Amino acid sequence: MTFIQRAGRCGLFLAAGLIGVLGAIATAEAAPKVERVTSPGGIEAWLVPTHEIPVIAVEVSFRGGASLDPKGKGGTASLFATLLDEGAGDLDSKAFQTRLEDLNIRLRFGAGDDSLSASLTTLSATRDEAFRLLGLALTKPRLDAEPIERMRQSRLVGLAAEEEDPESVASKAWDRLAFGSHPYAEPVHGTVQSVPTITRDDLAAFAKARIARDVLLVTVVGDIDAATLGPLLDKTFGALPEKAAPADVPEVVIGAGTLKVIEQDVPQSVLSFGLPGIKRDDPDWYAASVMNYVLGGGSFESRLMQEVRVKRGLAYGISTYLVPRERTGLLLGQVGTANASAGKALDVVKAELARMADKGLDARELADAKTYLTGSFPLNLDSNGAIAGVLMQLRRDRLPIDQIERRNALINAVTREDVLRAARRLLDPARLVTVVVGKPEGLVPAAAPPDVKGGVSGGG
């Protein structure tokens, strides 16, 4: 997801954010303790109070993002998000931005397939005004004509540039090929055709339908306690509608394996490839995480990096990663290679998928993966904002409030048999969906697959 950031704002947070609460979370045993706070009005937040520095970080998320864009109006949620700090209430765009800058408040908004989000960072001294401005942006966005057109033109410039970028072309084409008629097939930021059609009425309708308390998630980390936060939640979010409009985005399963080539006159082909994955709350999640680290997530230590780059010199880098979404799960990867090597690189990828599914991993690979996945995790918790972000992802994924405390034990409990089971479940080369952008050699595109329809995912 892309957040709209303002250059030059809040320079002191660069330093404060690096300090954060590292001392309190340096080890898994000292994972942050999360409190559940419920406001007098019934609004829930997850809170980690820490008073080492006078900074508060807040993450806000509303379930339902670009996947709920009106048909033919792709990019509505994303464009709406860019406008939330462009004026609210009695403050026009300039006045709103000036207020943020004068008080050193960092506020940004973004949209993804499954959510609309906000991130707020403020000093304790400006806490009340920061929360007020956040609430004002969400409850009374102005959606003035000038910011709408300015943000629209900025988005169109970015989309035009993406049409020339092989990686962007490959990623978007992969979504269309894999998801067919499902909303996930549409780019979050829309297209050069759809964005010009979005009207102010479309944006206002999206706000009315999607910004509500029943789809609201909040996480807070920093110099604030539960007694103070509770009433502040009601002041900030209490004016929101009680319920969002009904929404029904179906579960989706990727179609049969296929290959699509998009010719582009470039010296290097980009290959985007993927398979059905699993969601974050799946019992096999940590076994799949260990498997993916060994397969393609472990940088130079991964099998794909060794086979594709080190042994054969086919690419500078290759990686794979698990992508849990609200309505499906994915295992995705990408590699760039010389046109003449494209077929060979894809063959190596398929061979490594098959090898992992056939034999799993060895004891050393298992131990190394566990060491990395448990030892590196505290680096994801190096600031108030980072912790708030991790907590928000847990909330989006409907995981328990103590998941951070339990995480390393769950990873350490993974066995070789668990990994082999996950690999056999997920790594079927025949199901691989691949898009290649360039002028690849040694590849024969398959016939177009039937349109993908929403269905019940086996991974959830």
Q: Three-class SS string for 162-212?
A: HCCCHHHHHHHHHHHHHHCCCHHHCCCCCCCCCHHHCCHHHHHHHHHHHCC
3-state DSSP percent of the chain in helix, strand and coil, to 5: 45, 20, 35
Answer whether residue 73 is part of any domain.
yes
Question: Does residue 73 surpass a pLDDT of 90?
Answer: yes
Answer yes or no: do 208 and 152 share one domain: yes
Answer yes or no: do 157 and 275 share one domain: no
Q: What is the pLDDT of residue 269?
A: 97
Answer whether residue 216 is part of any domain.
yes
Mean pLDDT of 316-328: 95
**Lowest-confidence segment of 40-44, 213-217, 380-384, 427-431 by average pLDDT:** 380-384
Answer yes or no: do 200 and 329 share one domain: no
- Decide: residue 112, CB within 10 A, 0-12 exposed, 13-18 middle, 19+ buried: buried
Q: What is the pLDDT of residue 382?
A: 86
For CA atoms 43, 48, 54, 58, the dihedral sign is negative
For CA atoms 143, 145, 151, 155, the dihedral sign is positive
Residue 144: both structure tokens together: 């003035």
Q: How many residues does the chain have?
A: 460
Q: CB–CB of 55/121 below 8 Å?
A: yes
DSSP 8-class letter at 307:
I
Report the alpha-carbon distance of residue 400 to residue 408 in Å, rounded.
14
Q: What is the pLDDT of residue 31?
A: 73
Enumerate residues 6+ apart whose C-beta is below 8 A from 455: 250, 251, 252, 253
Question: Does residue 127 surpass a pLDDT of 60?
Answer: yes
Answer yes or no: do 82 and 119 share one domain: yes
Answer whether residue 451 is part of any domain.
no
Answer whether residue 326 is part of any domain.
yes
Answer yes or no: do 266 and 201 share one domain: no
Answer yes or no: do 204 and 329 share one domain: no
Answer whether residue 3 is part of any domain.
no
Q: What is the pLDDT of residue 30?
A: 58
Q: b or e along 99-108 (b: 16 or more beta carbons within 10 Å of the residue's beta carbon)?
A: bbeeebbbbb
Report the alpha-carbon distance of residue 115 to residue 68 in Å, rounded.
10
Q: What is the pLDDT of residue 359?
A: 96
Report the alpha-carbon distance of residue 113 to residue 324 in Å, rounded.
11
Answer yes or no: do 189 and 309 share one domain: no
CATH classification of the domain holding 117: 3.30.830.10
Report the alpha-carbon distance of residue 209 to residue 63 in Å, rounded.
11
Question: Does residue 29 surpass a pLDDT of 50?
Answer: no
Report the alpha-carbon distance of residue 328 to residue 452 in Å, rounded.
13
Answer yes or no: do 118 and 227 share one domain: yes
Question: Does residue 15 surpass a pLDDT of 90?
Answer: no
Q: What is the pLDDT of residue 445?
A: 63
93 pLDDT band, cuts 50/70/90, is: very high
Residue 329: both structure tokens together: 């799960």
Answer yes or no: do 280 and 352 share one domain: yes
Enumerate residues 6+ apart whose C-beta is below 8 A from 95: 87
Answer whether residue 384 is part of any domain.
no
Mean pLDDT of 235-243: 97
Answer whether residue 232 is part of any domain.
yes
DSSP 8-class letter at 66:
G
What is the tally of structural domains in the chain?
2
Domain of residue 175 covers 9-237
Mean pLDDT of 42-50: 97
- Whole-angstrom CA distances from 257 to 13, 261, 335 are 46, 14, 18
300 pLDDT band, cuts 50/70/90, is: confident
Question: What's the predicted TM-score (pTM) here?
Answer: 0.88
Answer yes or no: do 144 and 213 share one domain: yes
Q: What is the pLDDT of residue 340?
A: 96
Which run of H or E residues covers position 310?
none
Enumerate residues 6+ apart whose C-beta is below 8 A from 27: 378
Beta bridge partners of 37: 45
Highest-confidence segment of 29-33, 349-353, 442-446: 349-353
Q: What is the pLDDT of residue 443?
A: 84
| Cβ count near 173 (within 10 Å) | 17
Answer yes or no: do 197 and 295 share one domain: no
**Lowest-confidence segment of 15-24, 237-246, 369-378 by average pLDDT:** 15-24
- Virtual CA dihedral for 162, 165, 168, 169, nearest 10 degrees? 100
Answer yes or no: do 336 and 228 share one domain: no
pLDDT digits over 375-429, tens only? 998 888 889 999 999 999 999 999 999 999 999 999 999 999 999 999 999 999 9
**Lowest-confidence segment of 123-127, 345-349, 433-437, 446-450 by average pLDDT:** 446-450
> What percent of the chain clears pLDDT 90, i.e. is strictly above it?
85
44-49 vs 216-222, strand pairing mode: parallel
- Decide: residue 344, CB within 10 A, 0-12 exposed, 13-18 middle, 19+ buried: middle
Mean pLDDT of 227-250: 96
Question: Does residue 97 surpass a pLDDT of 80?
Answer: yes
Enumerate residues 6+ apart whose C-beta is below 8 A from 161: none
Give the residue among 66, 282, 292, 309 at the shortest CA–CA distance from 187.
Answer: 66
Question: Does residue 456 surpass a pLDDT of 60?
Answer: no
Residue 455 or 429, more confident: 429
pLDDT digits over 2-14, tens only? 223 333 333 333 3
The average confidence (pLDDT) of the chain is 90
What is the three-class DSSP state of 149? Answer: helix
Answer whether residue 247 is part of any domain.
no
Question: Does residue 288 surpass a pLDDT of 70?
Answer: yes
Question: Does residue 17 surpass a pLDDT of 50?
Answer: no
